[in-house]
Amino acid sequence: MSWLYLLLAGLLEIGWPVGLKLAQEPATRWLGISAAIGFMVASGFFLWLAQRDIPIGTAYAVWTGIGAVGTFMVGVMFFGDPTSLMRYFGVLLIVAGVIALKLAH
C-alpha cells in the first residue's frame, strides 16, 4: 500500500507547480495559489503515509522524480514549454532512476 501512497503523492506533487504557473495570471492568481497550497498539503500527507514503510531517501527521490517528470510533461503539453532531444533524454534518465529505486527496494 505504501507504494500506492507514494505514487499518489508524486502525482499530487505535479499540482502545486501547475497552481503556481496559473497564479502568474492576475485572473487566476488566487485560484492558482489555493490550488498550489492544496496540492502541497495533499502530496505531503501521502508522502508521510508512504514513509511508514519506504526509506526516506527512496521515498523522496521517487516522489520528486514523479513530480519532475509529470510537471515537465504538463509544461510541454499545456504551457508550450520548449522540447529537445536532450530534454527528453534527461526525463528518461529520471524515469530510469525511479525504476531502479523501486527495483532495489
Position 6 pLDDT exceeds 90: yes
- Report which DSSP code applies to 51: T
Under a CB-based contact definition with an 8 Å cutoff, are residues 101 and 61 in contact? yes
Using DSSP's 3-state secondary structure scheme, residue 23 falls into coil
First-to-last CA distance in the chain? 14
* CA 23 to chain CA mean position, Å: 18
* pLDDT at residue 17 tops 90: yes
**Which bin fits 80, alpha (ψ -120 to 50), beta or left (φ > 0)?**
left
What is the per-residue pLDDT across 35-92, written as a single tens digit (0 to 9) for each?
999 999 999 999 999 999 999 999 999 999 999 999 999 999 999 999 999 999 999 9
Which amino acid type is present at position 98? V
Question: With 80 as the cut, is the pLDDT of residue 29 above it?
Answer: yes
Tell me the domain boundaries of the chain: 2-104
Q: For residue 95, what pLDDT is reported?
A: 95
Per-residue pLDDT, 105 = 74
Distance CA 24, CA 104 (A): 40
Region 23-46: mean pLDDT is 98
Q: Say how far apart CA 28 and CA 13 lie, in whole Å.
A: 20
